[in-house]
Amino acid sequence: MIHVENAHKRYRLRKVLDGVSFTAQKGQITCLIGMNGAGKSTLLKAIMGLTPLSKGSIRVDGVQSSRELYEKVSFIPDHTAMPGGYRLEEGLRFMADYYHSWNEARAAELMTFFNLNEGDRVGNLSKGMAAKFGLVLGLAADTEFVLMDEPFSGIDLFSRELIGEVFSSRLIEDRGVLITTHEIDEIEHLLDRAVLLKDGKVARDIDCEQVRDEEGKSVLDVMREVYRT
Amino acid sequence: MDNHGGWMETAFNTRDPVYLQVVRLFKERIVTGRLTAGEAIPSRREIAALLKMNPNTAQRAYKEMEEQGLIVTEGNSPSRITRDEDVLRHIRSELLGEAVRTFIGSIRNMQVPLQEVIDLVKQEYEVDAKGAPSAGGGGA
């Protein structure tokens, strides 16, 4: 379980996170929802130990961030961190060298699934293909948690569907998934939980099926309530 | 065998619980004969992939169907549609009753005499029966 407790973060005078607490469970897909600038990416980076919090704590399976975290949690940023001159196969080799948890067979499977060409250069990928390559890099490792920052943003519908397909497949298996998004679109029925951020706080933290069951509302309905007031 | 048993064409609405929509889908398939008594159904994992939905939701839908006696799972063998005639009859009358109530609800405000409605239903039903191919088991 990823446990974020009372997270505070300031950029100069602006309070981005003002006491955010939530959990992301293994075997579930949790979605952090918020408008642009709501601190979603900051939270993912904070979980990975890439940015310090002003206050608060983050624990992954009870442990505060450590080096072992990188073998346990993979992070797919919203833009690839690979040098543009790399061929995709070089990118894969780079990952294999750095991560013990790298699973070569799964990487190959993902490359085929997304129809990516190993000889292409990272810098020449379209936005949709770059997003897919990001998913290959993030999902190929045998990690217990996967964090994805805006995996659907700016890519075409067909790629979205393909990426949605990954969420329901055994490529995710029993891992815990935490994704961020500012639009819910066609992924809403894939989510277990949604955490809605507003003004640096958690405005609502919902079990998606429960909200449909008890309130007859979609996640989008709940978003309207939160963000239109 | 038709293409993935036609599961792929399913679209969910966002306001009803997805697991209940899946249960409904199975009921419709049973009533229309696309799934028959005792037939083996896809595993939870397979159905999640086919319907592109969360595996936890598939799990929940199957649990609900087991509780309703719709499907039976024995040991490690695949889940099967029940052979219990009572359950199957009940599903049929449930879906039929629901459709008729929806229909009545949509014409209630028009204040039509019942006989006129019955005549119209009869007429449309016969036209539809002529136009449609004869009813049968599987798909295309």
3-state SS of B60-79? Answer: HHHHHHHHCCCEECCCCCCC
In a domain, B89, yes or no: yes
Note the pLDDT of residue B3: 56
Per the CB < 8 A criterion, the answer to whether A182 and A213 are in contact is: no
Q: Is the pLDDT of residue B1 over 70?
A: no
Closest CA to A222 of A201, A193, A179: A193
Per the CB < 8 A criterion, the answer to whether B70 and B35 are in contact is: no
For the domain that residue B66 is a member of, what is the CATH number? 1.10.10.10
In a domain, B72, yes or no: yes
B57: which chain A residues are within 8 Å (Cβ-Cβ)? 189, 209
Taking all residues of chain B, what is their mean pLDDT, rounded to a whole number?
Answer: 87
In a domain, B2, yes or no: no
Which class is A2-227 in CATH? alpha beta
Residues 6+ apart with CB under 8 A from A50: A75
Q: Does B45 touch chain A (CB under 8 A)?
A: yes
A216: which chain B residues are within 8 Å (Cβ-Cβ)? 15-16
- Using the beta-carbon criterion (under 8 Å), do B56 and A167 form an inter-chain contact? no
Note the pLDDT of residue A158: 78
**How close B58 gets to chain A, by Cα (Å)?**
10
- Report pTM: 0.84
For residue A96, the surrounding DSSP H or E stretch is helix A88-98
**How close B24 gets to chain A, by Cα (Å)?**
14
Residues 11..30 of A with a Cβ closer than 8 Å to B: which?
Answer: 27-29
**How close B54 gets to chain A, by Cα (Å)?**
5
Per the CB < 8 A criterion, the answer to whether B22 and B51 are in contact is: yes
- Using the beta-carbon criterion (under 8 Å), do B54 and A29 form an inter-chain contact? yes
Domain range for B27 is 18-81
Note the pLDDT of residue B84: 95
The values of phi and psi at residue B37, to 5°, are -50, 130
Per the CB < 8 A criterion, the answer to whether A198 and A227 are in contact is: yes
For residue A55, the surrounding DSSP H or E stretch is strand A55-60
Looking at the fold, whether B24 and B77 belong to one and the same domain comes out as yes
Lowest mean pLDDT among A183-197, B16-30, B56-70: A183-197
Closest CA to B31 of B87, B75, B76, B72: B87
Can you give the residue ranges of every domain in chain A?
2-227
Looking at the fold, whether B58 and B103 belong to one and the same domain comes out as no
Q: Is the pLDDT of residue B92 over 90?
A: yes
- Residues facing A196 on adjacent strands: A33, A204
DSSP labels, chain B: --GGGGGGG----SSS-HHHHHHHHHHHHHHTTSS-TT-B---HHHHHHHTT--HHHHHHHHHHHHHTTSEE--TTSPPEE---HHHHHHHHHHHHHHHHHHHHHHHGGG---HHHHHHHHHHHHHHHHHHSPPP-SS--
Quote the percentage of chain B above a pLDDT of 70: 90
More confident residue, A66 or B117: B117
Mutate to test the interface with A, among B10, B13, B15 (most CBs of A within 10 A): B15
- Using the beta-carbon criterion (under 8 Å), do B52 and A213 form an inter-chain contact? no
B46: which chain A residues are within 8 Å (Cβ-Cβ)? none
Gap between the Cα atoms of A4 and B121, Å rounded: 60
Looking at the fold, whether B65 and B22 belong to one and the same domain comes out as yes
In the predicted model, what is the mean pLDDT of residues B51-67? 93
Looking at the fold, whether B23 and B74 belong to one and the same domain comes out as yes
Looking at the fold, whether B92 and B110 belong to one and the same domain comes out as yes
- Closest CA in chain B for residue A216: B15
Q: How confident is the model at residue B137 (pLDDT cuts 50, 70, 90)?
A: very low
Residues 6+ apart with CB under 8 A from A222: A194, A196, A204, A206, A211
Looking at the fold, whether B23 and B75 belong to one and the same domain comes out as yes
Q: Is the pLDDT of residue B89 over 50?
A: yes
Q: What ipTM does the predicted assembly reach?
A: 0.79
Distances (CA, A) of A55 to A17, A40, A198, B48: 10, 16, 18, 40
- Where chain A has pLDDT below 50, the residues are none
- Using the beta-carbon criterion (under 8 Å), do A165 and B48 form an inter-chain contact? no
Looking at the fold, whether B90 and B75 belong to one and the same domain comes out as no
A179: which chain B residues are within 8 Å (Cβ-Cβ)? none
The domain total for chain B is 2
Note the pLDDT of residue B132: 61
Mutate to test the interface with A, among B44, B45, B53, B54 (most CBs of A within 10 A): B54
Closest CA to A23 of A47, A3, A46: A3
Of A28, A161, A221, the CB nearest to B56: A28
Q: How confident is the model at residue B133 (pLDDT cuts 50, 70, 90)?
A: low
Our CA angle for A55, A70, A51, nearest 5°, is 30
Looking at the fold, whether B94 and B77 belong to one and the same domain comes out as no
CA atoms within 13 A on the CB side of B100: 9
Residues 61..100 of B with a Cβ closer than 8 Å to A: which?
Answer: none
Residues 6+ apart with CB under 8 A from B35: B26, B29, B41, B81
Distances (CA, A) of B87 to B34, B67, B117: 17, 12, 31
- Using the beta-carbon criterion (under 8 Å), do B54 and A190 form an inter-chain contact? yes
Q: Is the pLDDT of residue B140 over 50?
A: no
Q: Does A222 touch chain B (CB under 8 A)?
A: no
Of A27, A169, A209, the CB nearest to B18: A209
Q: Does A213 touch chain B (CB under 8 A)?
A: yes
Gap between the Cα atoms of A3 and A1, Å rounded: 6
Q: Is the pLDDT of residue B134 over 60?
A: no
- Closest CA in chain B for residue A208: B17
Note the pLDDT of residue A57: 93
